[in-house]
Amino acid sequence: MHLVTSLSTMCFQMKRGVLPFLCGVLVAGAFAVPTLTVADSNKNEEIYRQLGLFGDIFQRVRESYVDEVDEKDLIEAAINGMLTSLDPHSSFLNTENFSDMQVQTKGKFGGLGIEITMEKGVIKIVSPIDDTPAAKAGLQPEDYIIAVDGAAILGMALSEAVDKLRGEVGSKVTVTVQRAQDEPFDVTLTRDTIKIRSVRSKMFDGIGYLRITTFSEQTTPGLKDSVAKMFEDHGDNLKGFVLDLRNNPGGLLNQAIAVSDAFLEAGEIVSTRGRDPDNASRVYAKAGDIGRGLPLVVLINSGSASASEIVAGALKDHKRAVLLGTRSFGKGSVQSVIPLSGTGAMRLTTARYYTPSGISIQAKGITPDIEVALARIEKLEGGITREEDLKGALDKNIPQNAEANGQADDATTADAKPEDDQSKIDYQLARALDLIQGVSIFTKDKSPQ
């Protein structure tokens, strides 16, 4: 810090008893640099003048505000205002919020189960978390919460809005939701203890389905265990994997790196670059692909953010996976959580993420290789008509139905495996499964006989 010239002037300008700690901090920093340029001196003069203004306003509020205020709350609000003015992800965490954040990254916390950000002065849902009150109530990515229990959110800091959404487990909260251009509507949710099962897995006709809901400390071990179990149960019959990162709001950076590394044999996973180009960092994969080179499709959508985008970008750039779905959220900034002695922590944006090809994720997101919009598969009225159903069709009496050829008809297939119902209504997943089936058939046909 360049803090020598005009130090006495600044401290003198402050009213007695107002923010004495500021002067102490400045004095401590005054000996860091022995000389200053004229430009530095002028810049510091302006900084001191602004700090003096802050001290004056702080004192006026203490003395003249209509109600008595807590000085600690005032200073916390000022600090938080400074940080949130930088970007939506920088903020001050008091002791309670810092503790909540630490619990959340371990995969268990209380609340509604939504990842949120602030946009246009209101809360925007990045994504609901699977099997939480928010997901069960039907809240969706890109919904806006405009009021909580009838109180408007507009103009609140993100941390203040979060505090309104939090409460005791079992208590209810009503949120007013704005979805696209529809009329706002109210949703009443019961707060619950959110237990995140980071990895879920299922088999779809020889294809391993892996759903990662968030990147917590449980993610990589859960992923590796699921893949190992699939190989153990199905062996050479495995055709490939679908990695579902839709509505995954992110989480721990080291887990995103570990998941990417799990499917890559070599190469850069992600780089981070901040203000100082000399402090750029790059992370590389180690040998070993848990998928053993089998086809991999990654599902993403607008609710895939941060850590999800790192994984998707790395696997796409190395051509290890085909990305399918819609463009991701676009949160490509790095937040460093800096503990502050006895008062919580500061979350500060310190760098941007770049994919292995050098593309910034920030505000751009990851574009899928195959664009597939969200849709549901529904049966058409009237059933299916084929040539053999036409009156007077040639060779009509020759058995040509699907069962005679050892295959099930479309309608039969839908009921053949109840556990596969998800693939019958989830269009993006169905497309991913079809893609792997096609690659598997092509590869099998090309293999030596």
SS (H, E, C) 174-209: EEEEECCCCCCEEEEEECEEEECCCEEEEEECCEEE
Residues 142 and 213 in one domain: no
Residue pair 349/363 in contact (Cβ under 8 Å)? The answer is no
Which one of 142, 166, 195 terminates a domain? 195
Exposure string of 203-220, with b = 16+ CB inside 10 Å and e = fewer, is bbeebbbbbbbbbbebbb
Q: What is the pLDDT of residue 103?
A: 67
339 found inside a domain? yes
100 found inside a domain? no
Enclosing domain of residue 134: 108-195
139 found inside a domain? yes
Q: What is the pLDDT of residue 273?
A: 95
Residues 244 and 286 in one domain: yes
Residues 323 and 354 in one domain: yes
Q: Which residues are catalytic?
A: 306, 317, 331
Which one of 163, 195, 227 terminates a domain? 195
85 found inside a domain? no
Residue pair 108/99 in contact (Cβ under 8 Å)? The answer is no
Residues 212 and 244 in one domain: yes
Residues 225 and 141 in one domain: no
Residues 394 and 245 in one domain: no
Residues 359 and 228 in one domain: yes
Q: How far is residue 216 from each of residues 126, 164, 250, measured CA to CA in Å? A: 17, 25, 9
284 found inside a domain? yes
Helix, strand and coil percent figures for the chain, each rounded to 5: 35, 25, 40
**Measured distance CA(315)–CA(328) in Å, rounded:** 14
Total number of domains constituting the chain:
4
Residues 364 and 396 in one domain: no
Residues 260 and 341 in one domain: yes
Task: Give every residue of the chain whose pLDDT is below 50, as ranges.
Answer: 1-34, 400-420
63 exposed, middle or buried (CB, 10 Å; 0-12, 13-18, 19+)?
exposed
Q: How far is residue 100 from each of residues 73, 127, 146, 165, 430, measured CA to CA in Å? A: 19, 19, 24, 14, 38
DSSP-based three-state secondary structure for 330: coil
176 found inside a domain? yes
Residues 343 and 427 in one domain: no
Q: What is the pLDDT of residue 3?
A: 33
Only one residue has tokens 């556990």, namely 419
Only one residue has tokens 């003069």, namely 45
For residue 286 the two structure tokens come to: 């180690």
For residue 291 the two structure tokens come to: 């998928």
Residues 294 and 209 in one domain: yes
Could you tell me the pTM of the whole model? 0.72
* CATH number, domain with residue 218: 3.90.226.10
Residues 181 and 217 in one domain: no
Which one of 371, 396, 430 terminates a domain? 371
